Chains A and B, each alone.
Chain A
């Protein structure tokens, strides 16, 4: 009951200056719309990438990649002694293809680890792919296709051919879609693969796969583990990588450390492997929030201006309200409510408009080629954004209204009444 006259005054003020009110509501609306749309788009893309990464790449990858800077044995032997100086000339590494020792046994051990969903051992090597006159350098990925398929659901990403043909066709090969494009290869083409140590193998394209992750699609070709080993001239126990999928992805960093300690090979979790991408995401996010914050500050200034003008215009109203018994607090409430009402209206409209634009944007076909390839914008419709955007809008308007409201509350009625 006591609030109703205040609300009535608020309403009279807002409707009395319709144009200004509408402009400031639009200002807030615009800010919120941009917030919703931009945050939805940026994080939508990021989430899409993360989802793809989690689905199509190992959560933890154990690899044989040895430290490039091998310390010479002599250096190890004399480590810590300052009396002895030595120098090693013409140091030569043994020519040796990278390998995880007892890799298959390690894979078996990991398979039975309670936190592990599954493992897939593989032999990876750079190779030259030759088709007609085209030479392309890419990665041959020798796998047990059943194990690989269980982890990464390759079947779902196959666009031509099939996964099982890798087992049935002798010397079969599944090409990444980007790689196939570069080679101008199509299904059932025969091509030659030349390994770094000179072995050439004639292989047949039995499938083309498109995961949506650019790195994978452009660089990778799947072969059977046996064929890869033939290509590298190594024994059938020789593997270079173990892909691991976990039951709980959040445990990846912790388990990666554990495996690295236990087996003595480098174990990287998926975040570490994609660190460069995540740092780009971080910068994206910072830029996004800066843009949003500056828009909100601008609309905040708009509200500040309009309320300040309103106070000058309504000075006598304020004075008379005080003379007939309205307290400073009442006056403050009036002007703060005006700001908050503008914020509320702008917020609601902004949410609706942002949602609408997001839906439209998500439905328009749009080729994306970046970290990921996708046929449309992946917009995030997380309700959390909508909540944050709305309260952010209210907060901005409240802050913008605070100063004018305080100024209004400090108006001295005597000063106004006597000067007229």
Chain B
């Protein structure tokens, strides 16, 4: 599903710095994998290079056997739209829109479903995440935990091949954090959703942990 071969990355500013050193990893379909490591270990950087947002690296990143660097900017955008879901530390919902509108945004772009079908699908996702009642509320009227769940629903709306999470629980209190993690686990195990998650909290037990230290995979 996802593969990195001899991945090297440098920061050029302010001084040249070797962030990722010869990373070789593989994520199989349906796996729930986490990347752990202390802050500064390069785990977020790794996530962004694997997820097509950062293409400034040496080596190869393949999603479904497609080399990301062989794609144009527009092709990458289309790939993200159809095959990749993102969950960030902040929810990054559009503040002017309601919850349901936010969830539908990637689907409208994809245009695979009619508006009516999409609405049904979006409501199903919200239902899955147990916040269907909040569908028509403006997102800034929701609590932090609810906002993050809307963001998860948005990541899932196009049935992506893989979901990338960057500290998805980082902004939440421990109760909400636990709930979000449990939701992700449910998605992975119940629906065979492939998930790659970056976290500094090693207590989250995923199928597999990739431990990063100073830009190198240590286990």
Contacts and interface: CB of A to CB of B under 8 A. Distances in A.
B94 A9 contact: yes
A327 B86 contact: no
A414 B53 contact: yes
Contacts of B73: 327-328
B114 A1 contact: yes
Contacts of A383: none
Contact of B48 (A1, A324, A328, A414): A414
A8 B48 CA distance: 29
B106 A324 contact: yes
Interface in A264-289: none
A316 interface: yes
A329 B78 CA distance: 12
Contacts of B97: 8, 12
Nearest to A324: B106
A324 B80 contact: yes
B92 interface: yes
A199 interface: no
A321 B92 CA distance: 9
Contacts of A16: 96
Contacts of A2: 108-109, 111
B56 to A, nearest CB: 9
A420 B48 contact: no
A341 to B, nearest CB: 16
Contacts of A317: 94-95
Contacts, number: 77
A320 interface: yes
A320 B89 CA distance: 13
Given A325-B81, A414-B53, A320 B74 contact: no
Interface string A334-348: 000000000000000
Contacts of A326: 77, 81, 109
Contact of B77 (A5, A8, A328): A328
B82 interface: yes
B108 A5 contact: yes
A10 to B, nearest CB: 11
Contact of A417 (B80, B92, B110): B92
User: What is the interface of chain A mostly: helix, strand, loop, or mixed?
Assistant: helix
A268 B106 CA distance: 73
Interface string B49-62: 00001100000000
Nearest to A417: B88
B92 A316 contact: yes
Contacts of A13: 96
Contacts of B109: 2, 5, 324-326, 330
B86 A324 contact: yes
Nearest to A327: B77
Contacts of B169: none
Contacts of B92: 316, 319-320, 323, 417
B111 A1 contact: yes
A316 B91 CA distance: 11
Interface in A388-420: 413-414, 417-418, 420
Interface residues of B, number: 35
Interface string A1-29: 11011001100110010000000000000
Contacts of A418: 44, 48
B105 A324 contact: yes
Contact of B54 (A4, A9, A328, A414): A414
A324 B114 contact: no
Nearest to B110: A325
A337 B158 CA distance: 26
Nearest to B86: A323
A1 B114 CA distance: 8
Contacts of A417: 53, 88, 92, 166
A316 B88 CA distance: 12
Interface in B156-186: 158, 166
Given A1-B108, A417-B53, A12 B80 contact: no
A414 B97 CA distance: 23
A327 B75 CA distance: 9
A214 interface: no
Contacts of B3: none
Contacts of B78: 325, 327
B8 interface: no
Nearest to B97: A12
A46 to B, nearest CB: 50
A146 interface: no
A18 to B, nearest CB: 12
A418 B42 CA distance: 12
Nearest to A12: B96
B54 A324 contact: no
25 contacts: A1-B114, A1-B115, A8-B101, A12-B94, A12-B97, A13-B96, A16-B96, A321-B105, A322-B77, A324-B80, A324-B81, A324-B86, A324-B106, A324-B154, A325-B78, A325-B79, A325-B81, A325-B84, A325-B106, A326-B109, A330-B109, A413-B53, A414-B53, A414-B54, A417-B88
6 nearest CB pairs, A to B = A325-B81, A12-B96, A5-B108, A327-B77, A320-B92, A324-B106
Given A324-B86, A413-B53, 6 more contacts: A2-B109, A8-B97, A16-B96, A324-B154, A330-B109, A417-B53
